[in-house]
Amino acid sequence: MTTDYSQVPIIQCAYQFTLEAHQTVARFPKHLRFQLGVRIIDGSQEFMERVIKANFIRDPRIRAEALSGLAELLFTSRMNIRLAKDLKAIPLGHAAQLTLRLEDLQKQLTGWLTWTRSKMQQASHSSGAGTRVKSEARPCT
């Protein structure tokens, strides 16, 4: 667990996506801003908050549970962005950029969940003297 979020790439990316979501929704037409826009912002903020909370969970089993529901949030965000693009609320290039950010978050989430599950297996195979597995930090693209 770390409270220095500059050392946690998935939190950096989640923050960046949330920031971009707010900036994008601010340019939505009024009739979409308060319906679809709110869903996009709420989804991005919920994802970011749940990732931060998962970072504080030490028990791998509980952390795995917390992380497992996040993929659904990313998929819902992807569909809402696609809908906004199809409704011409955001340009195609900007929708593609947001979708790439979501794909990066999905990859990081999958890696974190895989790492957490490996820690669960290590804990079940050892009596507590397991080896430490270092996760590879990568910058947000």
Over the stretch 34-53, which tens digit does the pLDDT of each residue have?
999 999 999 999 999 999 99
Nearest C-alpha neighbor of 21 from the set 48, 52, 3:
48
Residue 84 lies in domain: 5-125
| pLDDT digits 0-9 by tens, 67-96 | 988 999 999 999 999 999 999 999 999 999
Residue 133 lies in a domain: no
Residue 120 lies in a domain: yes
Residue 136 lies in a domain: no
Residue 96 lies in a domain: yes
pLDDT confidence of residue 69:
87
Residue 134 lies in a domain: no
pLDDT confidence of residue 95:
95
Tell me the two tokens of residue 15.
Answer: 């923050």
Q: pLDDT averaged over the chain?
A: 88
Chain position carrying tokens 């791998």: 60
Report which DSSP code applies to 103: H
For residues 111-125, average pLDDT = 87
> What would the 3-class secondary structure string for 45-86 be?
HHHHHHHHHHHCCCCHHHHHHHHHCHHHHHHHHHHHHHHHHH
